[in-house]
């Protein structure tokens, strides 16, 4: 790819928040809520993005903030269904940055680093914080078929493990790339 490659951000926000006890994506965060902060961070780095969701209230909040929303009717099948939904909605892209709606602390500069690296690399790119792989994860168009074939709730982790030779990890000092919110106790780390 090159500097003009069209990379689309895909924010996954179709989970059911089962471990949180309520809809964590709408939980207050800074001046907004968790999902809107995650969307704002991704939008600050990507020229184009969309949000995959499956909740009327989340969808409404995102649309009020002028984000493009794609409804994932198969969200109950797991994270992989949301990834496939986003890839199908942005199939003509040169690549994608897949981010999670429950990770509101990722700095836009970290997202930009992943974006610029995936523009130059025909593989998989992710930020690394203290040797731990974080988000968002960038995939070139070469991975479209494999991303669409994922199943279950593990997301693209298995694909990354299988294709280590195509993986580039970018060292960042941003702990936000590994801070997701699954349970109310996780809010204490923010």
Residue 143 lies in a domain: yes
- Give the CATH number for residue 66: 3.90.550.10
pLDDT tens for the 190 residues of the chain, in order:
677 889 999 999 997 665 666 688 998 988 899 999 999 999 999 999 999 999 999 999 999 999 999 999 999 888 999 999 999 999 999 999 999 999 999 999 999 999 999 999 889 999 999 999 999 999 999 999 999 998 887 778 888 888 889 999 999 999 999 998 877 777 777 6
Domain carrying residue 114: 7-189
Residue 133 lies in a domain: yes
Q: For residue range 135-176, what is the model confidence (pLDDT) as tens digits?
A: 999 999 999 999 999 888 777 888 888 888 999 999 999 999
DSSP state letters, 128-151 = EETTEE-S-EEEEGGGHHHHHT--
Domain count, the chain: 1
Residue 1 lies in a domain: no
Residue 2 lies in a domain: no
Residue 173 lies in a domain: yes
Of 9, 18, 55, nearest to 33 by C-alpha is 55
Q: In whole angstroms, how far apart are CA 152 and each of 74, 75, 81?
A: 11, 10, 7
On whether the CB atoms of residues 79 and 86 are closer than 8 A, the answer is no
Kindly tell me the burial class for residue 92, based on how many C-beta atoms sit within 10 Å of its own C-beta (0-12, 13-18, 19 or more). exposed
Residue 168 lies in a domain: yes
In this structure, what is the dihedral angle of CA atoms 51, 53, 57, 63, given to the nearest 10 degrees? Answer: 30
Residue 136 lies in a domain: yes
Q: For residue 180, what pLDDT is reported?
A: 87
Residue 78 lies in a domain: yes
**Pairing outcome for strands 124-129 and 69-71:** unpaired
On whether the CB atoms of residues 96 and 35 are closer than 8 A, the answer is no
């Amino acid at each position: 790819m090159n500097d003009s490659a069209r990379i689309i951000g895909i924010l996954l926000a179709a989970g059911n928040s089962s471990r949180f006890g309520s809809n964590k994506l709408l939980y207050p965060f800074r001046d907004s809520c968790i999902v809107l902060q995650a969307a704002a961070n991704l939008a600050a780095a990507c020229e184009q993005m969309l949000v995959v969701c499956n909740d009327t209230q989340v969808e409404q909040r995102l649309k009020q903030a002028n984000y493009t929303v794609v409804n994932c009717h198969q969200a109950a099948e797991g994270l992989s269904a949301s990834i496939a939904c986003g890839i199908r909605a942005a199939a003509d892209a040169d690549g994608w940055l897949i981010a999670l709606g429950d990770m509101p602390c990722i700095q836009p500069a970290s997202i930009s680093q992943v974006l610029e690296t995936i523009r130059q690399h025909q593989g998989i790119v992710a930020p690394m914080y203290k040797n731990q792989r974080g988000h968002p994860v960038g995939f070139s168009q070469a991975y479209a078929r494999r991303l669409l074939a994922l199943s279950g709730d593990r997301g693209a982790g298995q694909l990354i493990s299988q294709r280590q030779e195509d993986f580039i990890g970018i060292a960042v000092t941003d702990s936000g790339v590994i801070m997701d919110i699954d349970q109310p106790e996780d809010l204490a780390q923010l």
